[in-house]
Structure 1
Amino acid sequence: MIALFLLFQAAVTPAVPSDWSKLPDLRLATPADYPAIMTKFVRDEIAAGRCVAPPPVAGKTSIKVDMIVLVASANGEAVKIVPRAINCPTVEQFAAGVVQKAARGNIAGPPPGTDSWYHVGMTLTWGP
């Protein structure tokens, strides 16, 4: 029974695309305090040694998290979020959670005709 369910699920869920550059962008409005909260979380993860920051450029450190979001044709809701690995799982998971929350009831337009993948990214930047 479980095998049949998994087979059915695999048949109806579009495969995770390998080329994210051709996906349309998913635009989401996020509350104004999100960037500050997210940046603090990332800085804390780096300070705790769970992530390694890239070298600063012009005195600023930036971390970009790209994700793809599967939007269901039935209701226009985000049903799956896949972050691109940046060697910092806690930040990847946190960013995916932020996108999930921002997407809930907030995806503009009618549901797509089929389950469709979209791209969303966020860049967190801070100075010294």
Structure 2
Amino acid sequence: MIAALLLTLATTQAGIASPPLPSDWAVLPPLRYDRRPDPPAGLDEFVRGEVSAGRCVLAHGATTLRVDLVVLVDGGVAVRVVPRAIGCATVEQFAAGLLSRLARDHLDPASADGWYRTTLSIAWAGPNHG
């Protein structure tokens, strides 16, 4: 959330009028990439560490953590990324920052201005799976 607030503040200070955050993310088009980016190595270890430290609570037996995000594209650039709250602020912030970088490096240049949806699914073995 802090990263999203800082990005919002920077966008506002630059004089860019940002459309309101959509309330129904399901109707948004999916974010398109020029080529599908690979997730960074160690992402599952980060999630495992956050769960082990008690900063995140996953459903019993879960092996995937899903973070839904919306991305505002303006002029072919991702200018705002907002994660849906999942009760794990550190992973939400990490996902928003990661998606900001991925969108900056891999966004389809033909993307029209507006809001898009995407999901970051983080598969992990869990503390008792090896």
TM-score bracket for this pair, using the shorter chain length: 0.7 to 0.9
Among residues 20, 27, 37, which one is paired with 2:25 in the alignment?
20
Among residues 115, 118, 122, which one is paired with 1:117 in the alignment?
115
Q: Which runs of 4+ in 1 moved over 3 A?
A: none
Retained in 2: the 8 A contact 1:54–1:63? no
Q: What TM-score comes out, normalization by structure 2 length?
A: 0.77
Retained in 2: the 8 A contact 1:67–1:120? yes
For the aligned residue pairs, the C-alpha RMSD in angstroms reads 2.1
Equivalent position of 2:58 in the other structure: 53
Aligned length: 112
Q: What TM-score comes out, normalization by structure 1 length?
A: 0.78
Retained in 2: the 8 A contact 1:77–1:105? no
Alignment pair present for 1:77 and 2:81: no
Residues 73-112 of structure 1 mapped to structure 2, 5 A cutoff: 74=75, 76-112=76-112
Equivalent position of 2:37 in the other structure: 30
| Cα displacement (A) at 1:111 | 4.5
Retained in 2: the 8 A contact 1:55–1:61? no
- Structure 1 segments unaligned to the other structure (5+ residues): 1-5
- Structure 2 segments unaligned to the other structure (5+ residues): 1-11
User: Against the structure 1 CA distance between its residues 13 and 126, is the aligned structure 2 distance closer, same or farther, given a 3 Å change threshold?
Assistant: same
Higher-Rg member (1/2): 1
How big is each residue's C-alpha offset from its partner over 1:29-58, in whole Å with a ceiling of 9 and x where there is no partner?
A: 223x52x421111100001111112211xx
User: Against the structure 1 CA distance between its residues 49 and 81, is the aligned structure 2 distance closer, same or farther, given a 3 Å change threshold?
Assistant: same
Work out the percentage of aligned pairs sharing the same amino acid. 43
Equivalent position of 1:3 in the other structure: none
User: Against the structure 1 CA distance between its residues 124 and 92, is the aligned structure 2 distance closer, same or farther, given a 3 Å change threshold?
Assistant: same
Equivalent position of 2:5 in the other structure: none
Distance of 1:37 and 1:77 partners within structure 2: 27
Distance of 2:31 and 2:23 partners within structure 1: 17
